[in-house]
């Protein structure tokens, strides 16, 4: 009986506000997966990526580390940038190597092609998860062009899940902070178009029950909001209370689409529940998100092919106009010297063995090169541009 083909690993992208405990959470799930790989001989340890160029040290080993490719401090000095600008520029520089990064990931993490040789060793095992740490300045990664490139490239090859890490004690300190976190979460969800898990971290300090209750029970949030409004009545809390009340109604449907878990990165409580939610989101990604990603990739390829065909057609029309002008004697660029006239006559009138002329042979070769399905679209565009410029 043939064994079931292994599934590709899930990529977990850990994002969160500065101070939310994101890096500690990364260390906890990394240790959990290493322990699991020791107990399960069929799985390998997780594949770890660090995309934070400004961090001094991390409590886990990374298989791919942006700091090995980009020196954050040197980038700040060379381009005269501040901390956030240095992080964005470092990510931009790293994203230029995304093809290399994805080549490594696909080689190390995707299941090997099945063959008649069924002998497998430890090197053939693939990790069950890819975990990615991102910069603490969340807006730098989520809203930058390089962040979008990295996310879309990973999601194109692997089921991808966002783990939005939240500081539970700070979030439940007041309703406005809680609502700010929820609004940020929904903006990231719709910006990335990827499944998301809300991870209420630091439950060893304060449990996540109050925050979850505010999400699931509108009346509970209203009661907390009413208590705060009474305390802040003299400071104009009524307007803010009305706004938060309206936003909580708007986000009710959003809450129903999210998976929520409480985790303590210090004690490890809730980590098993987190990975149960990850598997649920894997199914959701393959069912709802993967077809949409495939459709968008197909549209991009179709646009690229149409642009290539347009360049070919325009170049061929220009060549036909040029040849017709020469034959009718209306070609504007007349030779100015005897040598130029002799070269023009020899190029246009010399017959080849098959009866065609040099012009015909050049046209055929250009057409064949540009219409070759395996040709490079950018090369075709450059050739067309060069020919057009030389014929003006």
CA atoms of 288 and 290, how far apart (whole Å): 6
Mean pLDDT of 301-324: 74
Q: Residue 115's pLDDT is what?
A: 39
The confidence band for 321, taking pLDDT boundaries of 50, 70 and 90, is low
Backbone dihedral region for residue 202 (phi beyond 0: left; psi -120 to 50: alpha; all else: beta)? left
Q: Is the pLDDT of residue 196 over 60?
A: yes
N residues, the chain: 392
Q: Is the pLDDT of residue 148 over 50?
A: yes
CA atoms of 133 and 280, how far apart (whole Å): 21
CA atoms of 258 and 196, how far apart (whole Å): 6
- Cβ–Cβ under 8 Å, residues 262 and 270: yes
| 237-264 pLDDT per residue, tens | 566 777 787 888 778 778 877 889 999 9
Q: Is the pLDDT of residue 138 over 50?
A: yes
Structure-derived torsion over alpha carbons of residues 385, 387, 390, 392, reported in degrees to the nearest 10: -80
At a CB cut-off of 8 Å and minimum separation 6, what does 164 contact? 15, 16, 185, 188, 196, 197, 198, 199
Mean pLDDT of 155-184: 92
Q: Residue 365's pLDDT is what?
A: 57
Give me the chain's average pLDDT, please: 80
**Long-range pairs of 321-324 with CB within 8 A, sequence gap ≥ 24:** 322/391, 323/359, 323/363
At a CB cut-off of 8 Å and minimum separation 6, what does 285 contact? 159, 160, 161, 194, 195
pTM over 0.75: no
The confidence band for 136, taking pLDDT boundaries of 50, 70 and 90, is confident
φ, ψ (nearest 5 deg) of residue 14: -90, 115
The confidence band for 137, taking pLDDT boundaries of 50, 70 and 90, is confident
At a CB cut-off of 8 Å and minimum separation 6, what does 79 contact? 85, 86, 89
At 133, is the secondary structure helix, strand, or coil?
strand
| 63-112 pLDDT per residue, tens | 999 999 999 999 999 999 999 899 999 999 999 999 999 999 999 898 87
- Cβ–Cβ under 8 Å, residues 44 and 127: yes
Q: In what order do the strands lie in the sheet with 47-50?
A: 64-65, 47-50, 129-133, 10-16, 160-167, 196-201, 259-262
The confidence band for 329, taking pLDDT boundaries of 50, 70 and 90, is low
The confidence band for 124, taking pLDDT boundaries of 50, 70 and 90, is low
């Amino acid at each position: 009986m043939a064994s079931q083909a292994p599934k590709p690993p899930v990529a977990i992208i850990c994002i969160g506000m500065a101070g939310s405990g994101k890096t500690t959470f990364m260390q906890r799930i990394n240790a959990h997966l290493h322990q699991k790989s020791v107990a399960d001989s069929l799985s390998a340890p997780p594949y770890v990526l660090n995309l934070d160029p400004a961090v001094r040290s991390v409590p886990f080993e990374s298989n791919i580390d942006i700091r090995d490719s980009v020196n954050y401090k040197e980038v700040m000095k060379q381009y005269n940038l501040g901390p956030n600008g240095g992080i964005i520029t470092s990510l931009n520089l790293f994203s230029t190597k995304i093809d290399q990064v994805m080549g490594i990931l696909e080689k190390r993490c995707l299941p090997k092609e099945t063959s008649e040789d069924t002998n497998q060793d430890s090197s053939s095992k693939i990790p069950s998860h890819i975990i990615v740490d991102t910069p603490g300045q969340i807006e730098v990664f989520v809203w930058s062009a390089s962040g979008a490139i990295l996310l879309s490239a990973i999601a194109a090859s692997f089921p991808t899940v966002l783990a939005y890490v939240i500081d539970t004690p700070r979030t439940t300190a007041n309703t406005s902070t809680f609502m700010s976190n929820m609004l940020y979460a929904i903006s990231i969800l719709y910006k990335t178009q990827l499944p998301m898990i809300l991870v209420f971290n630091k439950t060893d300090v304060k449990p996540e029950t109050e925050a979850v209750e505010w999400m699931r029970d509108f009346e509970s949030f209203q009661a907390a909001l009413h208590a705060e409004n009474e305390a802040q009545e003299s400071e104009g809390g009524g307007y803010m209370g009305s706004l938060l009340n309206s936003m909580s109604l708007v986000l009710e449907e959003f809450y129903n689409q999210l998976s929520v878990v409480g985790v303590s990165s210090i004690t490890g409580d809730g980590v098993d529940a987190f990975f149960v939610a990850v598997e649920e989101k894997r199914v959701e990604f393959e069912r709802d998100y993967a077809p949409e990603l495939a459709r968008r990739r197909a549209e991009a390829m179709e646009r690229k092919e149409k642009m290539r065909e347009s360049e070919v057609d325009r170049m061929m029309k220009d060549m036909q106009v040029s040849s017709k002008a020469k034959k009718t004697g209306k070609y504007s660029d007349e030779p100015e010297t005897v040598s130029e006239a002799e070269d023009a006559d020899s190029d246009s009138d010399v017959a080849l063995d098959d009866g065609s002329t040099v012009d015909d042979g050049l046209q055929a070769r250009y057409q064949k090169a540009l219409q070759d399905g395996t040709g490079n679209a950018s090369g075709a565009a450059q050739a067309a541009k060069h020919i057009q410029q030389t014929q003006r």
